[in-house]
Structure 1
Amino acid sequence: MLEKLFKLSENKTDVRTEVIAGVTTFLTMAYIIFVNPAILSETGMDRGAVFVATCLAAAIGCFIMGIVANYPIAQAPGMGLNAFFTYSVVFGMGYTWQVALAAVFVSGLLFILLSVFKIREWIIHSIPMSLRTGISAGIGLFLAFIALQGSGIVGDNPATLVSIGSVTSVQAILAAVGFFITIALVHRGFKAAVMIAILIVTVLGILFGDVQYHGVFSMPPSIAPTFMQLDFSAIFEVGMISVVFAFLFVDLFDTAGTLVGVATKADLIKEDGKLPRLNRALLADSTATSVGALLGTSNTTSYIESVSGVSAGGRTGLTAVVVGILFLLALFFSPLAGMIPAYATSGALFYVAILMMSGLVSIDWRDLTEAAPVVVTCLLMPLTYSIADGIALGFIAYAAIKGLSGKGREVPASVWVLAVVFALKFAFA
């Protein structure tokens, strides 16, 4: 059955190799079951329910990706997108988490339509690579800022807005220790480096009396507090339309980049440069996002950590299915997830930020018309505390700089349109 479903022989792999690859991928991304509830619960969402929603959305996404698309690519609620959900939409714009979930659901439906009608390729190809890189790096900086705030290393200051925090506090010290351990373990090749670091910091928090021990195993908590709690009352407001677009936009490019990166590593790209079963993979991603919103979590997306499983030999969807099964087993670790303090996940956030910023090396810094919009996008996301505003200002800067520099023809029509729309939003919204 497995041979027929996943074409193991055709892809020069076997069940044992795929299982090992699935376990490897899960260990590298399992930190999301701790980090996602920690971030989303700040909005008032029930932490236990978000934990369950995270595991279920990840499992569903993995099963669809594995069985329908037959790709060794795992899925789970995405980093950056959960931060946008909490800090931009709920805290920054004042919407309830129920409205934010409705925006995630709608963005998933739009993603499905874009995939079905093959509009996705046009959108991706029409947005300059420098802007895509700037968006990813900007989200990375935003995550780093959140990590520093959550750990207390960066604090408030009435005169300068931010300043050095209480760096000698237990929380700040343990957050720094977690980050150092994460980097050291990653450098030494530990597959579960991020998760190990989070658990070490949590144990240290217990020893220092800052965290209360509540056990490790139990039956999964109820998902009722977040299940089907979507509120569509504000979905057609001008501000919310831009939020839906931002969810869609970030998820779109995050997914595309991951699919290409993992498929290249696994030698799945055809000689003509195209990905086989691409639409199936995109439908898996978008369907998981909509289902995840119904369960009670932010956008589900493809994880670049899947490369670790591919490096271990994973070549088919069986790898993704194994990851999905492990996420279901993780449902029984809810007491452990509930104990994880915010500062224990700060190191993970900072590490992810580094990964997201690494793409800046591909920018042509000698061409200021390319480099300047990237810097605008990167800096204004954390400084405005809004991923959506950072994206909007990046588009406006790209079109304006290129146009005034005599390079207006290099700007795709879609970028001109979006730049005008964003400018009008700032002027009249």
Structure 2
Amino acid sequence: MNREAVAPAADQGGFLEKYFHLTENGTTARTEILAGLTTFVTMAYIILVNPIVLKAGGLDPGAVFMATCFAAAASTLFMGLYANYPFALAPGMGLNAFFAYVMVGAMKLDPYTALGAVFLSGIIAVIVTLTGLRELLIRAIPLPLKHAVGAGIGLFIAFIGLKNAGLIVPDQATIVALGNLSDPKTLLAVIGLILTGTLVARRVKGGMLLGILLTTLIGVPLGVTKLPAGVISPPPSMAAGFLKLNVLGALKWSLFPTIFSLFFADLFDTIGTFVGVASRTGMIDEQGNLKRGNKALFADSIGTVVGALLGTSNTTTYVESAAGVSVGGRTGLTAVVVAILFVLSIVFSPVALAVPGEATAPALVIVGIFMAASLTEIKFGDFLEAFPAFLTVILMPLTFSISLGLSLGFIAYALVMLLSGKGAQVHWMMYLLAILFTLYFAFIH
């Protein structure tokens, strides 16, 4: 009887070793499982935040909750099994805000056409990855603009977080002003910002998630949080968003900058995450290239396509994957564990859907702070570098649009380099992009 019990365990261990190359990567199954748990805890806040953000974009929060869990699970599982990377994916912060507040809110797209645009941005990502155009784009776009896009998105989502918290309100005289701090909802958001910020500053594992949950509980005596009847329940229906995307409706010239902005923002975010996390794992070769990088990028691209079909905004690789890597995660087994945990989360929909927007607003601000850190990589002492980068960064929150900030920043870079006599240093692809964006503003926008 003991022999029969031991044999399957040995076979399982042998399978994991053979498939994920655990020994070769200096890890064990136990370490990978712990790494998966760690990564999941640090990024599980997206399960609570995404339904609230996309609800503002006209999507059913229950369906978004399910789409979030399954998009994260499917794309992370594919990353683990296909690319053998310890990276986890989920609908991205910033891009979900762009979807809800710009594409649907400001541009007045219906949410299903917006999902169609997300799908098309994913298809573009798949094509450029498979054809090698990805490397061309990465070489063509100057590093300062890449940093500017990340920082600009950070300011954009932080602005949205402050707006959702009630800390920033419209004002006829000054455009924006400080909100009413005596309002229970605003007060809860302020408490949540201090609490979550403290947890993150103290590097508490899962500090963002814990901060959201604690803020939600504090909202009960303040009359903001309405407690659910139970903690677990049968999963909500996905019907409201599943396969409801309108791809044909998104195939318009007027949406060209929007679709490409989704693609570029996702691309830059992914590249930054890959390099940052992989540099800690020995996945960077002697030439500075990512080992099996094309497989990992393909898995990331597929994530957005799958997410749009399920009914959520762009799915991307999470920088929180570094948490799992820091405790020893080195292979796709870490990602597989994360994927399983996302699937198991679907029974906790009552908790996720009871979280008020004021409890998730601090998460937007804090993620914005992290993304804005790339400002330090821009040489503001060099005006040729600073001018287009600053325009990109500042115009995203001020125009309330990632696509407008990106487009105008690219145009400014091409023009200022050309007119300053340094046009030969600009890659031809940047001129092409600048011309296309200029034509958009001239004839469509």
In the alignment, which residue of structure 1 is the partner of 2:260? 245
Write out aligned runs for 1:303-318 (5 A): 303-318=318-333
Task: Supply the distance in 2 between the matched residues of 1:393 and 1:26 (Cα, whole angstroms).
Answer: 37
* Residue in 2 that maps onto 1:341: 356
1:271-286 → structure 2 map (5 Å cutoff): 271-286=286-301
1:17-416 aligned at under 5 Å gives the runs 17-214=31-228, 215-416=230-431
Deviation at 1:159?
A: 2.9
- Are the equivalent residues in 2 in contact too, given 1:88–1:388 (CA < 8 A)? no
SS of 1:326 mapped into structure 2: helix
Q: Is the 8 A contact 1:151 1:175 kept in 2?
A: yes
One-letter amino acid of the counterpart of residue 192, structure 1: G
Q: Secondary structure at the match of 1:90?
A: helix
Which 4+ stretches in 1 moved above 4 angstroms?
none
**Residues 151 and 172 in structure 1, CA contact (< 8 A), matched pair in contact too:** yes
Q: List alignment gaps of at least 5 residues for structure 2.
A: 1-14
Q: Distance in 2 between matches of 1:294 and 1:237?
A: 19
Give a deviation string over 1:334-366, Cα, whole Å, max 9, x none. 000101111101111111001101011111111
Any idea what SS the aligned residue of 1:198 has?
helix
Which 5+ residue runs of structure 1 have no aligned equivalent?
none
Shift in Å at residue 178 of structure 1?
1.4
Farther off after superposition, 350-359 or 172-181? 172-181
CA distance in 2, matches of 1:418, 1:173: 45
| Letter paired with 2:93 | M
Q: What fraction of aligned residue pairs are identical, expressed as a percent?
A: 49
Which amino acid counterpart does residue 247 of structure 2 have in structure 1? Answer: F
C-alpha contact (below 8 Å) 1:292/1:298 kept by paired residues: yes
Asked whether the equivalents of residues 119 and 247 of structure 2 are also in contact (C-alpha less than 8 Å), the reply is no
The question of whether the paired residues in 2 share the 8 Å contact of 1:292 and 1:299 is answered with yes
TM-score computed with the length of structure 2 as normaliser? 0.95
Shift of 1:63: 0.3
- 1:112, 1:148 → 2: CA distance? 34
CA distance in 1, matches of 2:180, 2:328: 45
Contact kept, 8 Å, 2:261 with 2:403, in 1: the verdict is yes
Aligned residue identity for 1:298: S
* Partner Cα distance (2:149, 2:251) in 1: 25
Instruction: Note the alpha carbon deviations across 1:267-319, whole angstroms, 9 max, x for none.
Output: 21112222121111111111111111010001110001101110010000011
8 Å contact kept, 1:89–1:100 = yes
| TM-fit CA distance, 1:235 | 2.2
Residue-by-residue CA offset, 1:1-21 (whole Å, 9 max, x unaligned): 111110001001001100111
Give 3-state SS (helix, strand or coil) of 1:321's partner.
helix
Instruction: Report the Cα offset of residue 110 of structure 1.
Output: 1.5
CA contact (8 A) 2:116 2:249 kept: no
Which letter maps to 1:401?
V
> Secondary structure of 1:249's partner?
helix
Normalised by the size of structure 1, how large is the TM-score?
A: 0.98
Which residue of 1 is the match for residue 10 of structure 2?
none
CA RMSD of aligned residues (A): 1.1
Deviations along 1:125-159, one digit per CA (max 9) or x if unpaired, are 11001001111111111111101110111111123
Please tell me whether Structure 1 or Structure 2 has the larger radius of gyration of its CA atoms. 2
SS in 2 for 1:213: coil
3-state SS in 1 of match to 2:177:
strand
Q: What amino acid maps onto 2:255 in structure 1?
A: M
Q: Which letter maps to 2:102?
A: S
- The CA deviation string for residues 169-204 of structure 1, in whole angstroms up to 9 with x for no partner, is 122222122122222112222111000110011001
Q: In structure 1, give the amino acid aligned to 2:20.
A: F
* 1:2 pairs with 2:16: yes
Residue 255 (structure 1) shift? 1.1
Measured in 2, the distance between the counterparts of 1:325 and 1:15 equals 15
CA distance in 2, matches of 1:169, 1:374: 38
Deviates more, 1:90-99 or 1:153-162: 153-162
Aligned AA (1:106):
L
Partner residue, 1:13: 27
2:115–2:312 CA contact under 8 A, matched in 1: yes
3-state SS of paired residue (1:162): strand
Q: In terms of mean alpha carbon deviation, does 221-230 or 259-268 score higher? A: 259-268
Distance (whole Å) between structure 2 residues aligned to residue 276 and residue 399 of structure 1: 33
Distance 1:242 1:158 in 2: 30
C-alpha distance in 2 between matches for 1:216 and 1:126: 50
Whether contact under 8 Å (2:116, 2:248) holds in the other structure is no
CA contact (8 A) 2:54 2:100 kept: yes
3-state SS of the aligned residue for 1:76? strand
Contact 2:184 2:223 in 1 (8 A): no
Give the drift of 1:393. Answer: 0.8
178-187 vs 86-95, which deviates more?
A: 178-187
